[in-house]
Amino acid sequence: MSGKSAISAWESLFRAQVTVMRTLTAEFPRDAGLSLTEYDVLFTISKQEDRSIRMRDLRTQVLLTQPSVSRLVERLVERGLASKCPEPDDARGSLVRLTDAGYDLYRRCAVQHGRSIIDHVGSALAPEELGELQRLCDKLRLAVDRQRPAGTPGA
Higher pLDDT: 65 or 38? It is 38
Q: What is the pLDDT of residue 153?
A: 55
pLDDT digits (tens, 9 = 90+) for 137-148: 999 989 988 887
Q: How far is 112 from 2, CA to CA, in rounded Å?
A: 41
Domains of the chain: 30-124 (1.10.10.10)
Higher pLDDT: 9 or 66? It is 9
Mean pLDDT for the stretch of residues 7-13: 93
Say yes or no to pLDDT of 155 above 50. no
Cα dist. 103→51, 54, 106, 127, 143 in Å?
9, 17, 5, 29, 32
CA angle 135, 137, 142 (to 5 degrees): 95
Pair 32, 108: CB distance under 8 Å: yes
Alpha helices in 28-96 (DSSP H): 36-46, 55-61, 66-78
Mean pLDDT, the chain, integer: 90
